[in-house]
Amino acid sequence: MVKQASEQGLKWYQDVRFGMFIHWGPSAVPARHDWIMAAESISVPDYEQYTRQFNPTKFNADEWVSVAADAGQKYIVFTSRHHDGFSMYDTALSDYKITNTAFGRDPARELADACARRGDIKLGFYNSLLDWHHPAYRFREESGLAWSDYLEFLHGQVRELCTNFGEIACMWFDGHWPNHQFDEEHQYFMAGGSFEYEKLYNMIHTLQPDATVLNNHHAQPQPGEDVQGFEQDLPGMNTTGWQNLEISSLALEVCMTINDHWFYIRGSDNHKSLRSLVHYLARAASAGANYLLNVGPNEEGVINPIHVARLQGIGAWLQANGESIYGTRAGVIEPTASAVSTRNGDTHYVHLLDYISDSVTLAGVPDSVNAAHLLVSGDAVPMERTDKGVVITVPAAQRDPLNTVVVLS
């Protein structure tokens, strides 16, 4: 029997609905590609140069955590080790780590402390399953090491993350793609055996009973996983083309970038608009999913000011409209191209995202609903039951250009 997260842990996770993903590491030095080692076939010694140049002296954990908190985000998922194999915390299991650089500080520790100081935001960890640096993963034949040596390292690191940072929000795994081609020359996607998920997940759920487990493997959930993840996509949409996942009965999460990259990439300036980010948040919540929105701080430790501004904008919208997101579950009112809904018990929140006309017809509104009002002003909204559904009318002057929420109860 594989353990799951506790009921209260799962409830907390689903109630908070909005988190910050942070992709950060030495690849912010070259800043050319999320997977620069693989994309440019960079050797381990050559990549290690970047780790020596990485000295992000402007990193300030309290500032980052404040950016997340001001955005209304309630958890942070931080890359403790990405595919490059460089640990962004003071692991006892490898010398290839940030505390062995000129920078010398432990950002995971500082983030955990900053979260603890505030108390309204929890830290969780992204951990890569694959490792392009570890000899037992990538250079097994040359090193004479065994797959079990890699597993010991991977599970050992997860144990550290579940032991050394207080209560964590979640463990977020990435890097197991069963459909990927094996790259003979670089052995990039090689997995010499199973990752022993049952053992791994049981350990997490024993050490951190409230923490949720998500594995971004792009396949149907496996025993012991608490959250089904959708990458750069809303549940069930499969707009990416490679994630044709059936929506499971697990808690759901959508992770997404603000521009087109996870890490800091110079010139990656295709930023989503504030409006579109607020819409994604509402659409994710309406599908019963958390929204994990990414920032990729640069080589100095600075979050892109454009992303900070976007996050502030979302925070301002949430400040007024948070009731329609936090603590809600998937909507029962039929979504249309321009309106989605969330629900908290018998209260239904209709998110009007686009206006085709002043009147919106909603199908599937429960019989218990007999009144409508604007969430922010409290003003009554005219509501009429017709053959086609409930018609609500919100004139232009009453609309929020980002997303107008109408409460039906």
List residues binding ligand GLC (CB under 6 A).
23, 34, 174, 216, 231, 255, 262
Q: How far is the CB of 41 from ligand GLC (least distance, A)?
A: 17
Task: Round the CA-based radius of gyration of the chain to a whole number and report it.
Answer: 22
Minimum CB distance to ligand GLC, residue 405 (Å): 29
Question: Which amino acid, 257?
Answer: T
| β-strands 289-295, 372-374 pairing | unpaired
The strand pairing partners of 349, in sequence order, are: 342, 407
Q: Closest separation between CB of residue 294 and ligand GLC, Å?
A: 7
Q: Based on CB atoms, which residue is closest to ligand GLC, 217 or 348?
A: 217
Nearer to ligand GLC, 151 or 255 (CB): 255
Geometric angle at alpha carbon 389, from 385 and 391, rounded to 5°: 60
Nearer to ligand GLC, 27 or 51 (CB): 27
Return the structure tokens found at 214: 């998500």
C-alpha neighbours within 13 Å on the C-beta side of residue 1: 3
* Of 129 and 372, CB closest to ligand GLC: 129
Residues 213, 227: contact at Cβ < 8 Å? Answer: yes
Q: CA angle, corner 325, sides to 323 and 330, nearest 5?
A: 125
Q: Find the largest Cα–Cα distance for the chain.
A: 74
Confirm if 286 and 348 have CB atoms less than 8 A apart. no
- Nearer Cβ to ligand GLC (72/296): 296
Cβ at position 255, least distance to ligand GLC in Å = 5
Q: Among residues 153 and 188, whose Cβ is nearest to ligand GLC? A: 188
Residue 119 to residue 10: CA distance in whole angstroms: 18
For the chain, first and last CA: distance in Å?
42
Query: Measured from the CB atom, is 83 or 343 closer to ligand GLC?
Result: 83
Q: What is the smallest separation between the CB atom of 60 and ligand GLC, expressed in angstroms?
A: 23
Residue 214 CB, nearest approach to ligand GLC (Å): 10
- Do 336 and 369 form a contact (C-beta atoms < 8 A)? no
Q: Kindly state the smallest distance separating residue 51's Cβ from ligand GLC, in Å.
A: 17
* Three-state SS at 307: helix
